[in-house]
Amino acid sequence: RDCDKRFKRKKKIDKEIKLIKSKLKKFQDQLSNQKANPDTIRMEIKDFINSMEKTEKRKLESANTVQLKPHSPSQKNLIFISYSHADTDPWLKRLQVHLKPLEREGIIYRWDDTLIKTGTNWTSEIKNALNSAKVGIFLVSADFLASDFISKEELPLLLTAAQEKGISILPVIVSPCGYEETKGLCDIQAINDPKLPLINLTQGERENYFKKVASRVRTLISK
């Protein structure tokens, strides 16, 4: 499949190169013609450059838009992880490890913002992923609750989807925070007791909770 994509891409590039060479030859022939009007040639060159710029702009806009195939696992079984960047190591990384077998089996498509490529429209990617999520995992901490983007963008969409579409929410309390006092979250059963955040547990106990998350995700997706 990757080979086919590369072949099609190469054919498209070759076609574009051929078009450019053809245009350049035309301009060269016109310039060598003493009867040719220089102003007309300059206008044609300008129009050609503008056309190329518009084409490149459309390509960039297309690249910045997340396109999810209707029957792809990324839309049907997307697992959205909401977290604060302050909690990347070790919490996000350990969660990614425990979800990896489900990804490899094709059961889920794990999505978090580490998948966003440089230069893409990250806001659009996050919102598209949120709208496609079947399960939302929250790595809750004081930093998580303090994030304006999470509280204003991610949480409202996921909590609304949970009420209207039945999306499952799995909060994991990673460090001491005001989870039980946070409107909209306090009513959702967390994976672990908010009074016993992961940071206060042994490594083995933490791993058991991440294993519990992965098992819960497998069960929810199989419904």
Helices (H), the chain: 2-32, 38-63, 73-76, 93-104, 122-132, 142-146, 148-149, 155-164, 203-222
Q: Within this chain, do residues 110 and 189 fall inside the same structural domain, yes or no?
A: yes
- Give me the amino acid identity at 211: K
Domain total of the chain: 2
Least confident of 17-31, 61-75, 87-101, 109-123: 61-75
CB 108 within 8 Å of CB 195: no
Q: Within this chain, do residues 140 and 183 fall inside the same structural domain, yes or no?
A: yes
**Domain coverage including residue 107:** 73-222
* Global model pTM greater than 0.75: no
Give 1-33 pLDDT, tens digit per residue: 444 556 666 677 777 777 777 777 776 676 677
Q: Is residue 104 part of a domain?
A: yes
SS3 139: strand
